[in-house]
Every structure is written in C-alpha cells, then in structure tokens.
Amino acid sequence: MHRAENLVRATDLSRTDRFWNEAAETMPEEALRAHQERGLAEVWHRIWNEPIPFYTRRYSDAGLRSGQVPDLDAIPRTTKNDLRADEAANPPFGSHRSVGLDQAVRISKTTGTSGRPVFTLMGERDLEAAIEMQARTTWTLGLRPGDRFTHPWPGGLYVSAAFTNFFYTRTGVLEIPVGPPATPDEAREHVELWQLLRPHGFMLTMSQLQIYVDAADALGADFTDLTAGTTVSLYDLSMNLPGPRTRMEKLLGCRIRTQSGAGDIPGFGAAECEYGTGVHVPNDYLIVQVVDPVTGRSLREGEMGHLVVTTIGLDANLVRFDLEDLATLDSSPCPCGRTGTRMRVWGRSSEALTFDGVPVLPVHVQGALDEHGAPEFQVHLEESGTAGRLIVSVEGTRPAAEIEDLLTGALGVPVTARMIEPGSLPRAAFKPRRTG
C-alpha cells in the first residue's frame, strides 16, 4: 500500500526503536541548556521588536529592557487571569498574542470549567511542534505503528482536537476517537465498538473508567477483558502514587502510564516511559520551572510549587506562564536514556485547602482512601468563626470515626468525615470535581 510520505513519518521507524526523536530526547544537558538559552533570546527579541504590547508594558514596569535577556526568575509571571484581563481591556483577543486570528492555522479553546473561554491560536510552527510533541508522547507511551488507540476525549474546539488527527497519523497508530460517554447508551456503544476493534491502548479519566466498567456490566461483559495486556493512560492524579497505580494495574491487567499537558500551551504534551518516573518534558520546546507561589523564585528540585512554563521555538509565545498547578520536578537520570526534566503534577493550586499551614490536595485524600475501597469523596473547608474544619464527605457505610482516624493520620491535620450514600456524588463524564 502506498502511503504519502509527508503524512506518515512512522515508515522511517521500526516498532523496536526506543525513541521517536533520539537527538531531541537524549540531548546532553549542556546542549539542552544552550538550546534553551537561544530559544529564550529569540522570544525576548520578538517581544520587544514585533512588539507584543502586553509583555513590553509588564516588563518595562518591572525595569526590564530589550537589549538584555534577564534571568528567567527575574521575569514577572503571567497567569490565565492576566490574559483574560488583557483580552477584556483589548477586545476581542487581547494584546498578548504573537499569532493573530489571520495567521492562525488551528484554533482551540480551553475547557470552560471557570470563567469565560480563552482561545489558543496556533501558527504553522506551533502545529508542527504540537505534532512532534504529541507523536513523541504517543511513542513514549509504548504505542507503535499498527497499534490501535482509543479515547473518549471531546472533539470540536477542545484543545487536543485541534491536532489529534495529525499526530496519530504520523506515528502510524490508528486513532479511535469515540467522544465522551454522555449517556449510558453511548457508553455501552463505546464498549461494543471496542469489543469489535480491540484497541492496544486507552486514554481515560478515572470517572470515565467507572462509567465504562458499569456499561460493560450492563452488557453482561467484563471491562477488564478489553484492558488486559494493553497500555492505559489513566488521567488521575492518584496514578502518581505507587500504591493506587499498582492496584489499578492488577485490576485492569494492563500497564498504566500518566500524561500531562495544558490547553493554553500549543501542543504541550508529556508522557511517562516504561519506568514510570514522571512525565518526560519536551525540553526543546518548553522550559519548565517549579516556583514559590508568592515570590516566583525557582524552588529546589523535589519541592512542590507552581508550575511555570516558557515556550521556545514556537509562533505562539508564552513567557513564564503560571499554570497555577502544583508540581514537582526531577532531573535525575532515567533508565530509559531520555535526558532533561521530568515532572509530576499533583493538583490545581486552587484545590489545595490550607489547614494550619499544611496544604491538603484531593490526591492526598484519594491516596489515603485507596486501600479502603477507593470510594468517591469531596473535600471542603468549613469556616466557623476563626477556626475552620476540614470536611471530607465519603461514599460508603463504614463508621465515620474509622475514616477520620485514617485521614487524620495520613494528612497530618484533623479531619471531620461525613459518610454519604454510595452513588450519591456525581460521576463526571470527563473530569471529576473533588472540592466544593
């Protein structure tokens, strides 16, 4: 069969090739640092010379000048709210963009979980970089030409939908995009489709997994017959924890990998290799930092702080973009041979409930409850006068005191448990919301 050369690059690679792009993925540390410095210098030049008014205003106010590229930590951070405010002041698309609507070759918008949507406009270099980063991610997950990969991710203007068809095609992996299971009927249809097509890999959120397990039950089938021997990219923060991950791998008979990304950054994708050491960041496109949420200064490796990303070599510049996610970095050698930084994201900064100075994230609660049937739960702080109480509502019939002891021990702060009826918390069709 003839295949168009520019469409399918995978014909150059064999199934046994370890890396999608060996030169980029195993770049020595010094070469990588030099590459990132050149990339930042290009971004800095563009900001002042195009110019990009949003950044020149902010950076002039901070005493920065065009001629000299500052230390990254000296550059003020930008948040999604800053970009929204800029768009409100300079409608409709703001003064922060380096790719306008007329130059864009792809468009997406970030999920509207809060506030109004923010559009991502991608130029030609962004699309090419997105395809490269995501093809690399697909390969890192262990998928190879001839494999079939399925996911119920949204289509339309959803971020990955802007380029998903390009990168799967390039890897030679057959994508089976079924769309979110909005109703039990749709979920059963997806299960039947998978029984027919037998995917080698799945990408699922934990809530979707539960929906499909239930759908298979309703069909008199066992969902683990579909996952046995496959690779499952499970979007759930608890998969960063060895206990919950091993339990889930045994349950599904599969290999679990984690992936990370961010809709605001064109093509941002990163995946774990077979050693499960955290996701391998595409360091040739993204400079990632973990910083103190207040001062913006880089933290020591392993410390948890805000994830801040600077894009290099793209058309769409984002400089010191604070994703307001809590993350940790690790650049110790990985046995797979990939170099550079790996990261783990632990949750949204806004989801952290700080109690007596201790930040508590839903993933911490989930980790503690995992060995006890992994029930659904919600966490919130109840204010009463000057004192607050950390309330965890847990589905199930166990004595509340037992859950309280368990969580208080695991989290290091006093917890009030409220037991609620199994099945009473909503099952999100895409992403669960665990703070209220």
Can you give the binding site for Zn ion, defined by CB under 5 A? 273, 275, 334, 336, 338
CA 65 – CA 268 distance, rounded (Å): 29
Q: What is the smallest separation between the CB atom of 165 and Zn ion, expressed in angstroms? A: 27
Contact partners, residue 96, CB within 8 Å, separation at least 6: 52, 54, 55, 78, 83, 86, 87
According to DSSP, residue 63 is labeled T
Nearer to Zn ion, 29 or 185 (CB): 29
Nearer to Zn ion, 240 or 393 (CB): 240
Q: What is the smallest separation between the CB atom of 283 and Zn ion, expressed in angstroms? A: 13
DSSP sequence for 131-149 = HHHHHHHHHHTT--TT-EE
Question: Which residue type is seen at 45?
Answer: H
Q: What is the smallest separation between the CB atom of 140 and Zn ion, expressed in angstroms? A: 8
Q: What is the smallest separation between the CB atom of 305 and Zn ion, expressed in angstroms? A: 23
Nearer to Zn ion, 222 or 275 (CB): 275
Nearer to Zn ion, 100 or 333 (CB): 333
Radius of gyration in angstroms for the set of CA atoms belonging to the chain, rounded to a whole number: 22
Is-contact 255 227, C-beta < 8 A? no
* DSSP H or E segment with residue 275: none
Q: What is the smallest separation between the CB atom of 355 and Zn ion, expressed in angstroms? A: 35
CA 361 – CA 146 distance, rounded (Å): 40
CA 199 – CA 150 distance, rounded (Å): 6
Q: What is the smallest separation between the CB atom of 281 and Zn ion, expressed in angstroms? A: 11
CA 387 – CA 368 distance, rounded (Å): 24
Nearer to Zn ion, 170 or 280 (CB): 280
Give the max Cα distance, the chain.
Answer: 73
Nearer to Zn ion, 276 or 359 (CB): 276
Q: What is the smallest separation between the CB atom of 272 and Zn ion, expressed in angstroms? A: 7
User: In this structure, how many other beta carbons lie within 10 angstroms of the beta carbon of residue 419?
Assistant: 17
Q: What is the smallest separation between the CB atom of 338 and Zn ion, expressed in angstroms? A: 5
Nearer to Zn ion, 188 or 257 (CB): 257
Write the CA distances from 202 to 1, 96, 190, 218, 279, integer angstroms: 27, 36, 12, 20, 17
- Give the ranges where 149-307 is alpha helix by DSSP (H): 164-171, 184-197, 206-218, 224-227, 242-252
Q: What is the smallest separation between the CB atom of 180 and Zn ion, expressed in angstroms? A: 30
Nearer to Zn ion, 181 or 340 (CB): 340
Nearer to Zn ion, 27 or 390 (CB): 27
Coil, strand, or helix at residue 384?
Answer: strand
Nearer to Zn ion, 195 or 275 (CB): 275
Q: What is the smallest separation between the CB atom of 342 and Zn ion, expressed in angstroms? A: 7
Is-contact 347 362, C-beta < 8 A? yes
